[in-house]
A and B are shown apart, each in its own frame.
Chain A
């Protein structure tokens, strides 16, 4: 069953120990499966566990209990290095604050995942230009990113997330730092690209409108996922 699933949680929970008042449960035991090509939005108040869920889904955090599977591979049996390589090859990440490197150009920021993967530039340059063309930044390739507007920065971040043709795109409040008009444009772009590339797309948002554009809209309350 899991082979056709892009992302699967089986009894996954996350607890943070060490605070003065004891441990904090960020995610209650959760089980779900997201098939390939599915788009899921997650809404909830601050501190409800949305980002924790996303981090667990990306394999950048480990669950306290349970098993996370990405593209059919259980993360618990993998070494730290294997988890990193799996993330590199299958997951694209977009963040609220873009997380672009200010000392790099637009091109270099987009190229970062391939540089990390050790790919030869000649093998990924066409893909960079294709993506930047697609998001309307083809003429800003060599610009430093700190000269871009917020919307442009998020478009660069989207290109970076999609460069290695991931299976899953995870976005943590991708429009949380943008005005309404720009938010709408950025989400339109993301949906187009996700659709074109048939990606599994999971995103966290505060906006009911943005959340409503997904195939499924999940809510989170105090670490519990409420499935529709």
Chain B
């Protein structure tokens, strides 16, 4: 049988090139989608873990500030804790390169001469230590960073942290990546005292890394440190820190994974359809083999071997394609990680062996899953039925009502299950979406059949094409089903993203009312130390054309172990406007009572709301403010806590302002004010934006976040379009006699061409109709179930009519393009091809 397999393989592949090519394409695109997403998901957390390893090396425990820096006196307490072998402080600061607010350096300050285990401490150690210490701003950078920026030893670089500028002198080049491959190329190391001095944080540190004494369990020491140091600090092992990042990204990663699985799901349809067609075409061959003594198992093995080979071909194309897609989207995903999650950006991809294994499993699994049904069916048939002519579409037609009922039952059970039991279950949205994407395709055979039944045949045009779709239900219904799934995904996500964007836009319009926003170049750091120069605030306040100035103090903090954004504003600002759109409760009394507001994502994820008390880790222990209300917030899914500035000072001590919102008198040009401000403070690194620019920037970040989603949508659509091509090629081949009849009866080539294009458009129409309905349902699930459960956002439903019309146009165009080649082949069918068999 193996010899037979070898002999016939080439002949079959030559005979059905297009069929096999499309099968391989389906597998390749599915593998590429899954692989790209998994590579991105893996590297999103790997980048963070890598940066931890690069900075903390083999430290077994890290002590971190909760707000987020620490008083350096904590170091003494750590060192005096039994079980601590060594401990060393670190200062970490994300600084902007002056004049380029999009380029950040990750500065790590540590004691250059301390006998510590900071990675590369020996390499970083300067040859002339005295000179290094005597040179303020002496730093070590990686050769890659030097090459990227055109810097060399001895050069100086001006960086900013808050309103403070500092001059760094490149003292040496150290290849951090050689020891820690995932170390950021933007890593810059310097002496800790210099770092504190340059960035104005003398007496403050960001982290203490601890090496545990032999025989002491790190977890036990961590627990001891927690007890000793109190809730104002966080004590974590490197694994726990990695898990924190993974937890932060879990919803983001899960959603991408789900989307990529839809691609492989659509691919399985394609493989199924191709396998079905190929096997039906070869039924006589199997009949002959069986009559010559081949067992059912041998026939099944023969079919499965071919499919496995095709799957492997698909995998071999899908793997490089997936990596290319991941690489191409690296910048966009990195931007999302840094913008929304404050994590490290991905600079280079880590590709462990198992990720390739995953691609192979997904590709082969998808191919075998798609072909298993037809293969089992073919191998189980008796010899007589294999040798007899039979038409598969008739079986599908007879099964169409049962499939339709099953599809409806799946949808119904999912809906009832959700309404009765599933509302409290976080994953119910995925269960609903899965039921929708499984149930919908089952509706297509009956719909295609009914459409054929009601279509009038008063002309040899698109109506005739629709009528003839029902003639080969097995082929056309599968193509329509695959397209239905792809369209449902496309429309569902477009509706969700469009609604989200509109909601965001409205929220910005409602809550961001000031005319000008001023912050520093290093505003992304979310630390209490990157502050705006008071001189700038005073100067703005003093302007006659300014109605009010709203100050914002913000930093990362912790409620329990949950990282949140902590915001302080003046709730009793005169001349300002409401900045919080409330979901529940009110802002009344927040300023006087020491109460706080929590953001909607925080509220939905924790269930802690109005009337409850929060437990926020402060520098002096836990603070327990009352929650006065919940406000809509789309700036971070981590969750945020907002309070009055005076309350903030009371809880967290005095601090500076990170940014200000300026309300101008009516008629004053914001851009003119911005220009004057920049001119007045040429040496202060300011970022000033008008209301409209800020809005545009927010929407740009939003669009960036969903860019990867669009790639996945496009891949699914491409697979579905390949499904249309496949279906029409099959029709062109299987219905050669019918086409020859049309030609014999006087149909011109153009008419046959148009007929086939009409079939393609007909399949697209069914896919659009059913997929459109499914898409609306999917959007409902994404908006009202999944988003609330995973991200905690309320999204107002909105119909992005232009986007949807554009997509409908794209789908029809894709269907048209997918139909051209088969239509061309069909139109070339000569009338002489009329076989002696019946049609």
Residues of B within 8 A of A60 (CB): 740, 743-744, 830-832, 834
Residues of B within 8 A of A118 (CB): 459-460
Chain A positions 78-123 with a Cβ under 8 Å from a chain B Cβ: 80-81, 84-85, 87-89, 93, 95-104, 108, 111-113, 115-118, 121
Q: Is B746 an interface residue, CB under 8 A from the partner?
A: yes
Contact indicator B839/A113 (Cβ below 8 Å): no
Q: Contacts A102-B471, A108-B457, A118-B460: A81 and B746 contacting too (C-beta < 8 A)?
A: no
Q: Is A58 an interface residue, CB under 8 A from the partner?
A: yes
Instruction: Give the CA-CA distance A47 to B748 in the complex, in Å.
Output: 29
Contact indicator B741/A116 (Cβ below 8 Å): no
Contact indicator A85/B471 (Cβ below 8 Å): no
Q: Is B838 an interface residue, CB under 8 A from the partner?
A: yes
Chain B positions 695-737 with a Cβ under 8 Å from a chain A Cβ: 737
Interface size on A, residues (CB 8 A): 32
Q: How far is the CB of B754 from chain A (nearest CB, A)?
A: 11
Chain B positions 627-676 with a Cβ under 8 Å from a chain A Cβ: none
Contact indicator B458/A102 (Cβ below 8 Å): no
Q: Is B794 an interface residue, CB under 8 A from the partner?
A: no
Q: Is B747 an interface residue, CB under 8 A from the partner?
A: yes
Contact indicator B746/A87 (Cβ below 8 Å): yes
Q: Is A55 an interface residue, CB under 8 A from the partner?
A: yes
Q: How far is the CB of A174 from chain B (nearest CB, A)?
A: 13
Chain A positions 149-179 with a Cβ under 8 Å from a chain B Cβ: 160
Chain B positions 733-767 with a Cβ under 8 Å from a chain A Cβ: 737-738, 740-751
Contact indicator B458/A115 (Cβ below 8 Å): yes
Residue of A nearest to B735 (CB): A101
Instruction: Give the CA-CA distance A100 to B467 in the complex, in Å.
Output: 14
Chain B positions 451-504 with a Cβ under 8 Å from a chain A Cβ: 452, 457-460, 464, 467-468, 470-471
Q: A96 contacts which of B452, B458, B836, B839 (Cβ < 8 Å)?
A: B836
Q: Contacts A115-B457, A116-B460, A118-B460: A99 and B746 contacting too (C-beta < 8 A)?
A: no
Residues of B within 8 A of A102 (CB): 471, 839
Q: Is B100 an interface residue, CB under 8 A from the partner?
A: no
Instruction: Give the CA-CA distance A88 to B744 in the complex, in Å.
Output: 8
Residues of A within 8 A of B452 (CB): 103
Q: Is B837 an interface residue, CB under 8 A from the partner?
A: yes
Residue of B nearest to A82 (CB): B748
Residues of A within 8 A of B834 (CB): 60, 95, 99
Residue of B nearest to A88 (CB): B746
Residues of B within 8 A of A93 (CB): 744-745
Q: How far is the CB of B684 from chain A (nearest CB, A)?
A: 78
Q: Contacts A55-B832, A61-B832, A93-B745: A101 and B738 contacting too (C-beta < 8 A)?
A: yes
Contact indicator A115/B749 (Cβ below 8 Å): no
Q: How far is the CB of A143 from chain B (nearest CB, A)?
A: 14
Instruction: Give the CA-CA distance A99 to B470 in the complex, in Å.
Output: 18
Residue of A nearest to B458 (CB): A121
Q: How far is the CB of B388 from chain A (nearest CB, A)?
A: 17
Chain A positions 22-62 with a Cβ under 8 Å from a chain B Cβ: 55, 58, 60-61
Residue of A nearest to B738 (CB): A101
Chain A positions 111-154 with a Cβ under 8 Å from a chain B Cβ: 111-113, 115-118, 121
Q: Contacts A60-B831, A121-B458: A81 and B837 contacting too (C-beta < 8 A)?
A: no
Q: How far is the CB of B297 from chain A (nearest CB, A)?
A: 36
Q: B464 contacts which of A81, A115, A121 (Cβ < 8 Å)?
A: A115
Residues of B within 8 A of A61 (CB): 830-832
Residues of B within 8 A of A89 (CB): 746
Residue of B nearest to A121 (CB): B458
Q: How far is the CB of A131 from chain B (nearest CB, A)?
A: 15
Instruction: Give the CA-CA distance A78 to B460 in the complex, in Å.
Output: 24
Residues of B within 8 A of A55 (CB): 831-832
Contact indicator B460/A101 (Cβ below 8 Å): no
Instruction: Give the CA-CA distance A80 to B471 in the complex, in Å.
Output: 29
Most buried by A among B452, B741, B744, B837: B744
Contact indicator B470/A103 (Cβ below 8 Å): yes
Contact indicator A117/B457 (Cβ below 8 Å): no
Residues of A within 8 A of B457 (CB): 104, 108, 111, 115
Most buried by B among A84, A88, A102: A84
Q: A116 contacts which of B471, B738, B740, B747 (Cβ < 8 Å)?
A: B747
Q: How far is the CB of B376 from chain A (nearest CB, A)?
A: 28
Instruction: Give the CA-CA distance A100 to B438 in the complex, in Å.
Output: 36
Q: Contacts A88-B745, A93-B745: A103 and B471 contacting too (C-beta < 8 A)?
A: yes
Q: How far is the CB of B744 from chain A (nearest CB, A)?
A: 5
Chain B binding surface, main DSSP class:
helix
Q: How far is the CB of A203 from chain B (nearest CB, A)?
A: 16
Q: How far is the CB of A60 from chain B (nearest CB, A)?
A: 3
Q: How far is the CB of A78 from chain B (nearest CB, A)?
A: 13
Q: How far is the CB of B755 from chain A (nearest CB, A)?
A: 10
Residue of A nearest to B831 (CB): A60
Q: A84 contacts which of B458, B470, B746, B837 (Cβ < 8 Å)?
A: B746
Contact indicator B744/A97 (Cβ below 8 Å): no
Contact indicator B749/A104 (Cβ below 8 Å): no
Residues of A within 8 A of B751 (CB): 116
Residue of B nearest to A59 (CB): B831
Instruction: Give the CA-CA distance A96 to B738 in the complex, in Å.
Output: 14
Residue of B nearest to A92 (CB): B745
Residues of B within 8 A of A160 (CB): 745
Q: B467 contacts which of A80, A97, A104 (Cβ < 8 Å)?
A: A104
Instruction: Give the CA-CA distance A35 to B832 in the complex, in Å.
Output: 25
Q: How far is the CB of B456 from chain A (nearest CB, A)?
A: 9
Contact indicator A99/B468 (Cβ below 8 Å): no
Residue of B nearest to A98 (CB): B838
Chain B positions 777-833 with a Cβ under 8 Å from a chain A Cβ: 830-832
Q: How far is the CB of A56 from chain B (nearest CB, A)?
A: 9
Contact indicator A80/B749 (Cβ below 8 Å): yes
Contact indicator A81/B832 (Cβ below 8 Å): no
Q: Contacts A61-B832, A98-B838, A99-B834: A113 and B746 contacting too (C-beta < 8 A)?
A: yes
Contact indicator B839/A99 (Cβ below 8 Å): yes
Interface string of A176-196 (1 = CB under 8 A from B): 000000000000000000000
Q: B839 contacts which of A80, A81, A87, A101 (Cβ < 8 Å)?
A: A101
Instruction: Give the CA-CA distance A103 to B749 in the complex, in Å.
Output: 22
Residue of B nearest to A119 (CB): B459
Contact indicator A112/B745 (Cβ below 8 Å): yes
Instruction: Give the CA-CA distance A100 to B834 in the complex, in Å.
Output: 12
Instruction: Give the CA-CA distance A98 to B835 in the complex, in Å.
Output: 11
Contact indicator B460/A81 (Cβ below 8 Å): no
Instruction: Give the CA-CA distance A117 to B461 in the complex, in Å.
Output: 11
Contact indicator A99/B832 (Cβ below 8 Å): no
Contact indicator A113/B745 (Cβ below 8 Å): yes
Residues of B within 8 A of A80 (CB): 749
Instruction: Give the CA-CA distance A111 to B460 in the complex, in Å.
Output: 10
Residue of A nearest to B473 (CB): A103
Q: How far is the CB of A99 from chain B (nearest CB, A)?
A: 5
Q: A81 contacts which of B467, B471, B749 (Cβ < 8 Å)?
A: B749
Contact indicator A85/B836 (Cβ below 8 Å): no
Q: How far is the CB of A117 from chain B (nearest CB, A)?
A: 6
Q: How far is the CB of B474 from chain A (nearest CB, A)?
A: 13
Contact indicator A84/B747 (Cβ below 8 Å): yes
Instruction: Give the CA-CA distance A99 to B839 in the complex, in Å.
Output: 6
Residues of A within 8 A of B745 (CB): 88, 93, 112-113, 116, 160
Contact indicator B470/A97 (Cβ below 8 Å): no
Q: B746 contacts which of A85, A111, A121 (Cβ < 8 Å)?
A: A85
Contact indicator A81/B838 (Cβ below 8 Å): no
Identify 4 new A-B residue pairs, CB closer than 8 A, beyond the known A93-B744, A112-B742: A55-B832, A115-B457, A115-B460, A160-B745
Kindly list the 6 A-B residue pairs having the minimum CB-CB distance in the complex, ordered from nearest. A88-B746, A60-B831, A103-B471, A115-B460, A97-B838, A61-B832
Question: Could you list 21 examples of A-B contacts with CB < 8 Å?
Answer: A60-B740, A60-B832, A61-B831, A84-B747, A85-B746, A87-B744, A87-B746, A88-B745, A95-B834, A97-B836, A99-B839, A101-B468, A101-B741, A103-B471, A104-B457, A104-B467, A112-B460, A112-B745, A113-B746, A116-B742, A116-B745
Measuring CB to CB, which residues of chain B are less than 8 angstroms from any residue of chain A?
A: 452, 457-460, 464, 467-468, 470-471, 737-738, 740-751, 830-832, 834, 836-839
